[in-house]
Amino acid sequence: MTIMVTGGGGFLGFALLKALKAEGHKLKTINRGFYPELETLGIEVLRGDLADYATVRAALEGVDTLFHVAAKPGVWGPYAGYFDANIKATLNILKVCRELGIKKLIYTSSPSVTFGGFDQENVDESTPYPPQFMAAYPETKAKAEQLVLEANDDDLATVSLRPHLIWGPGDRHLLPRIIDKASKRRLRFIGKPGKKVDAVYIDNAVEAHLCALKRLEIGSVISGKVYFIGNNEPMPMDVIINSILEAASLPQVTKRLSFRFAWTIATLLETFYTLFHIESEPPLTRFMVAQLNTAHWYNPKASQEELGFYPKVTMSEGFARLKQSLEQGRTPSKPSS
């Protein structure tokens, strides 16, 4: 079987490629940037923009199954950039899947597509999209997810996975930002303590995608459906962050901002950055404040019974692995650009 993984240079994409390689699949990946570490996997590495139809058509020649992991993440920036990377790219992929007769498409979405600014506690896949989105990323991911699910039919089997806050050794985005801010004494909790979050360890996120590969077929129980993916161990965000800092041998965070104060600061920062056309992300945005002030954990029944997904690495074991990795210097200490 020849499998394409878009976004193989990213945290999840790279880990997924390694797992698929271990299973003996023939692999291809396409990315906009250059990632030397991909060459070490002995796979076919392509470069190009998925928003370009011709690029997608050439890249997917000979592919049997597609993992569409690539996306533009973030909580700030012009809508157009998110549209091209998340929606237009997905439209191109779906079109080419039809043209080339590709039978399986596994899409990596995000739980943020259902987030409307309020607590999400033990919610399941029946949770609707919010009437209004708080950032371009969840809005465009939601639209792309809808396109993928609507494409499921007798010729193409599709499924959408929503892994939540993927973390672990090798992360160049979430963990380095936490560690960098904490080392500069700039990290604060927001809102009332005790809001539980279900973050998923990288190996478990990969396992969920492998489960989808094994069970996805035209007409199967998971085709045309969406699944929340977590570690199934919701715990307060305070505990998660301080456990990460403990693994990094950094002091615990105890200071906290009220939701109202943080929201005001985020609003002022967004206004300032917009007025002066500053392209970089503000230190705080309203979407970030809302996320940090609310609970996010999901009912695992559907992912267990239909997808067959059960996390193999506990949060405790994950923190231990992270500590070992940081001590060996394998996880970047600064966020990637």
Question: In a 3-state reduction of DSSP, which class is residue 332?
Answer: coil
pLDDT tens digits for range 93-152: 999 999 999 999 999 999 999 999 999 999 999 999 999 999 999 999 999 999 999 999
DSSP assignment of 175-189: HHHHHHHHHTT---E
* Percent helix, strand and coil across the chain, each to the nearest 5: 40, 15, 40
Using DSSP's 3-state secondary structure scheme, residue 207 falls into helix
**pLDDT (tens digit, 9 = 90+) per residue, 42-55?**
899 999 999 999 99
CA–CA dist 8, 2 (Å, integer): 15
Rg (CA), the chain: 19
Give pLDDT tens digits for 30-82: 999 888 889 888 899 999 999 999 999 999 999 999 999 999 999 999 999 99
Q: How far is CA 316 from CA 15, 80, 253, 300, 307, in A?
A: 20, 40, 19, 19, 24
Residue positions annotated with a catalytic role:
137
pLDDT in tens, 263-277: 999 999 999 999 999
Q: The whole model's pTM is what?
A: 0.95
Higher pLDDT, 334 or 12: 12
Name the pLDDT band for 334 (thresholds 50, 70, 90).
very low
**pLDDT digits 0-9 by tens, 209-229:** 999 999 999 999 999 999 999
23 in helix, strand or coil? coil
**What percentage of the chain carries pLDDT values higher than 90?**
91
Structural domains present in the chain: 2-166+200-232+299-312 (3.40.50.720)
How many alpha carbons lie under 13 Å from residue 332 in its C-beta half-sphere? 14
Pairing of strands 225-229, 296-298: unpaired
